[in-house]
A and B are shown apart, each in its own frame.
Chain A
Amino acid sequence: MSDQQEKMRQGAEKLLQNEEVGYVIGWGTTRFADRTTPIFIDTPAAASDFVWNEYAVNSLAKYLLDDKYPDKKIGVFVRGCESRALNRMLKDKQVKRENLYLIGTPCDGKKAGRCSLCRERNPLLYDVLLWEPVPNVPAEGRFDRVRAIEAMTPDERYGYWGAVYDKCIRCYACRNACPVCSCRECYVDMSRTGFQGKQHSRSDNQIFGVTRAFHVGDRCIECGECERVCPMDLPIMGQTQKILKDINELAGEYECGLDAESENFLGAFDLDDKDEFM
């Protein structure tokens, strides 16, 4: 790991020295050894601030939306999960490939719950790969949690999600951390429209949960950021995963973000669609 960290620092330093990028996004230290925070390095000397350890959990892709029209390329470290997010963002025309310099960093998994379900540890797109790809590990039980919820009676299921959304404080961390949640203005913030009640109640919370799930469900890359960032530890990726599971069952194998060309399932139009009204 420390060897890899050294490669990352050197790689970033060189890019900054050669002025190939304006800055590089990676992970830096915090006051706690087991936590890192995203950092934005713009001088070669500061490239030694980058760290790479099992606590580099934050997804970096989302930060690219903060700077859509950069003067110079943005350098960013890219693992499997970041690359899947980027494929989706490229397809959704949220970022331009020519604005990015992708530094591939194959990943052995971090201390985040989602990593146990990871099916793509190596970056799927990159400009440079800093070290050899790592073998993917077959992830068991992708939809186990969804199946458990499907097995409930309707009342049990309502009780389950009701209890989840009673605890939701609607801080919108899940929305803000999600790399494929990319509207310039979220429906939640359109306070004039009344789409989203501002009161904190089970029903208003659930409206938010359901709307979020449907807005990103068929573009969800299962990176798990929504659950990692939730201060109430709510199992909300179960909702987008339910949509993914349904798509898998209706239309065959479906994974998001494996390339930058595929349409998202609910955004695609096909004359052979099963539902004739489409």
Chain B
Amino acid sequence: MELKKEKLPEALALLQSDARLFLPAEADGLPQFTVWDGKQAPCLSGNPPLPPKDVLFPRSEKMYGYNLSTGDVADLASPEKQVIFGIRPCDVKSIEKLDRAFLEKGYADSYYRTRREQLTTLSLGCTEAARTCFCESMGLDPADAPGADLMLNDAGDAFSVKSNSEKGEAVLARWGKLLTEDADKDAKGAGKDVSVHCAFKVDLPADLPERLTARFEDPAWAALSRACLGCGCCSYICPTCYCFDIGQENRGAEGTAFRCWDSCMFSDYSRMAGGHNPRPSKRERLRNRYLHKLAYFNERYGTTLCVGCGRCVDKCPAHLDITKVIETVGGER
């Protein structure tokens, strides 16, 4: 199936009619996943500096309200239908990884689960790789996101459209007569442009988690951390980082609890009451962050916590580079 590009605004309007629609667009001079205002032109090239992680795992969200005089507690989880259009395959993959973290291993996080069940993802395959993109090294296909509900790929004056799920089918049904049969079915297949490749690569040894864990005391960690400024930039722009903090605020007898993003790079992150900090300097904090991504998550969930989107490589103020960490600590010895 195809969706002619001229039909896109109409198709988006249909999505928006019963759900909050996020898409990458220029807002306040910055490309970002934003709630569509009905007029904005979506950015169809590149990927915004912030991933759409916020849609499932908001920077701040209210968890529950409570009343100290009555003792009542009210869950404030909000089941709202949401759609993301234009999410790239790397960011789709990141949602699959967040699913593992939030929904598995004993407990399902109900705030995440509520949003996740109500989310439909319409992925747009990449037609070009930014110079910091290394998703192929992480085992992804820049032009295909099997985890998306609907996969769109550029096919000249149209997008080829492929559904991967019931939610995707529902979108196709809703778009109905906006869709046309592929003009050139055989030549294009699923409309995949197989010519997209990442120039930026890293060799990922099969035993990387074991190597990194075995090199926990390696002096390379201290060396790598020296240029680090200890800010939370990498964690906050990372589509797979999911650490959070929980807090409460009282207003008279009533109050709300909230949770918000946090970063394991911050000094107070693991500092305990009384002052002891098991990760007292940026060496331990940087090591923990990369080991979480490249070893601990694998041990727990059998997959790395990195999708190769390259945002951290692009934005790190000190120009640290996760591929260099992989090569330096995880390389052949």
A interface vs B, CB < 8 Å?
Answer: 30-32, 35-40, 58, 62-63, 66, 163, 166-167, 169-173, 175-177, 185, 189-191, 197-201, 228-229, 231-233
Contact = CB atoms under 8 A, between A and B. Distances in A.
Interface of B: 28, 30, 32, 49-50, 59-60, 131, 200, 223, 226-227, 229-233, 235-237, 245, 247, 249, 258, 260-263, 266-268, 315, 317-321, 323-324
B226 A229 contact: no
Nearest to A35: B319
Nearest to A172: B231
A175 B268 CA distance: 15
A168 B226 CA distance: 26
A173 B260 CA distance: 18
Please report whether the interface of chain B is mostly helix, strand, loop or mixed according to DSSP: loop
Contacts of B260: 198-200
B233 A37 contact: no
B263 A200 contact: no
A62 B32 CA distance: 31
A163 B231 contact: no
A40 B59 CA distance: 35
Contacts of B247: 198-199
B60 A201 contact: yes
B236 A171 contact: yes
B131 A198 contact: no
B321 A30 contact: yes
Given A167-B28, A199-B60, A36 B229 contact: no
A43 B87 CA distance: 47
A229 B234 CA distance: 12
A229 B229 contact: yes
A31 B226 CA distance: 18
A199 B257 CA distance: 11
Nearest to B319: A37
A210 B30 CA distance: 22
Give the interface centre of A172, A189, A190, A191 by most chain B CB atoms within 10 Å: A172
22 contacts: A30-B324, A38-B227, A39-B227, A58-B227, A58-B318, A63-B226, A169-B233, A169-B237, A171-B237, A172-B231, A172-B232, A172-B266, A173-B229, A173-B232, A177-B231, A198-B245, A199-B60, A199-B258, A228-B317, A229-B231, A231-B49, A231-B233
A23 to B, nearest CB: 9
A62 B266 CA distance: 17
Nearest to A169: B236
Contacts of B315: 231
Given A39-B227, A172-B232, A176-B229, A189 B318 contact: no
A30 B317 CA distance: 13
Given A169-B236, A176-B317, 15 more contacts: A30-B319, A30-B324, A31-B323, A39-B227, A62-B229, A169-B59, A169-B232, A171-B233, A171-B236, A189-B268, A198-B245, A199-B247, A201-B60, A231-B236, A231-B237
Nearest to A199: B60
A233 B268 contact: no
Contacts of A30: 319, 321, 324
Nearest to B59: A200
B279 to A, nearest CB: 14
A201 B131 CA distance: 33
B28 to A, nearest CB: 5
B319 A229 contact: no
A38 B227 CA distance: 6
Given A35-B319, A37-B319, A198-B245, A173 B231 contact: yes
A176 B231 contact: yes
Contacts of A173: 229, 231-233, 317
A229 B319 CA distance: 10
A112 to B, nearest CB: 12
B182 to A, nearest CB: 39
Given A58-B319, A200-B60, A191 B258 contact: no
Contact of A171 (B30, B231, B321, B324): B231
B175 to A, nearest CB: 33
Nearest to A231: B315
Contact of A31 (B223, B245, B324): B324
Nearest to A234: B30
B86 to A, nearest CB: 19
B189 to A, nearest CB: 34
Contacts of A231: 49, 233, 236-237, 315, 317
> Lowest 4 A-B CB distances belong to which pairs?
A229-B317, A200-B59, A173-B231, A176-B229
Contacts of B231: 171-173, 175-177, 229
A133 B143 CA distance: 53
A232 B131 contact: no
Nearest to A175: B231
